[in-house]
Amino acid sequence: MNCEILDLRSLVAVAECRNFVRAAHQLNLSQPALSRRVQKLEALVGEALFERSTRSVRLTPAGQQIMPLVRRLLDEIDTSLLGKMALGERQDGRIVLASIPSATVRFLPSVLEQFGRDYRNVRVRVLDLSATECAEAVRTGAAEFGLALPVSSDADLVFEPLYDDHYGLVCRKDDPLAAIDKPRWEDLVGLRLVTVHTGSGNRTTLDAGLAPLNLDLRWFYEVTRLTSALALVDAGLGASILPRLACEGPEARDLVWKPLQGATIFRTIGVLRRPAVALSPAAHRLLGLLCDAWRERGRNDTIPD
């Protein structure tokens, strides 16, 4: 049985939209036609690829296993066929993506360099925004996709998790806390601490993780951005509890990040997209490169004891 490119795109669309009606609309197909293409793939694989219910659709274990292969194959097709049309001077345009700042520091420069080899004239605009602002930018179409934290239930957006970013202690190298081999959460009680404001996604995640510990931490300085928190720590105003990725940029080169013993708290970084809107081939390629970089980081990442 032959497998067509549209069959593979149908599989990806249903997986992303988690709904046959929205996926059919995205691909400009009728729902029966979309269902037949998915059924053809299921017959080819010999197993069901989706679990269907009246409320949602999700991948089966077999579907989860083949999805990375399908995405990789489509990426190669877009690069080798559509991508060839984009080479040279004939392709131009612009991609706009939204991202929380700490998600762009680690991979974006190398990914953009790789992306630019195939799409030399496609400009890329990065909107450095908070998690809430990223979601709004994607929802309104100001950005084609976003790298951010999960959002509350929203039918207009889908979130694909990529990486779990752990929270830990960040302090100056001359801070007494830096000399503690394995600092505990309890070591921070009574100290003046720097934190981000209560309305941010980072603070919400941190407070939820700290609740079971029943610790009375002294949030003395409150800022809006993680970079501002790093600046206050670097100035010697106090230690902070921040995600590991936030401490990998140049702002933290003179600081120390350590995991805290006793509780594991992390934020999940992933891709925000509008399921009803198809990405351009260039945006699809850029997103694929970013996802590959994040997943590779996750496979190779280790948290110090």
Q: Looking at residue 87, what is its pLDDT? A: 46
pLDDT higher than threshold 60 for residue 225: yes
Lowest mean pLDDT among 14-23, 124-133, 281-290, 292-301: 292-301
Q: Looking at residue 30, what is its pLDDT? A: 83
Q: Are 109 and 116 in contact (CB under 8 A)?
A: no
Look at 77 and 164; give whichever has higher pLDDT.
164
Q: Looking at residue 302, what is its pLDDT? A: 62
Write down the mean pLDDT value for the chain.
83
pLDDT higher than threshold 90 for residue 232: yes
Does CATH number 1.20.1600.10 belong to domain 1-86? Answer: no
Q: Are 167 and 241 in contact (CB under 8 A)?
A: yes
| Report for 24-38, 61-75, 133-147: range of highest mean pLDDT | 133-147
Report the top-level CATH class of 164-267.
alpha beta
- Tell me how long the chain is: 305
Distance CA 257, CA 244 (A): 7
Torsion of CA 191, 196, 197, 199, to 10 degrees: -130
Distance CA 62, CA 47 (A): 7
Choose among 121, 153, 125, 123: nearest CA to 137. Answer: 125
Q: Looking at residue 196, what is its pLDDT? A: 85
Alpha helices in 150-280 (DSSP H): 201-210, 226-234
- Per domain, the residue ranges of the chain are 1-86, 164-267
What band does 76 get if pLDDT is binned at 50, 70 and 90?
A: confident
Look at 49 and 131; give whichever has higher pLDDT.
49
What band does 145 get if pLDDT is binned at 50, 70 and 90?
A: very high
Residues β-bridged to residue 159: 272
Residues β-bridged to residue 269: 163
Q: Looking at residue 156, what is its pLDDT? A: 78
What band does 259 get if pLDDT is binned at 50, 70 and 90?
A: very high
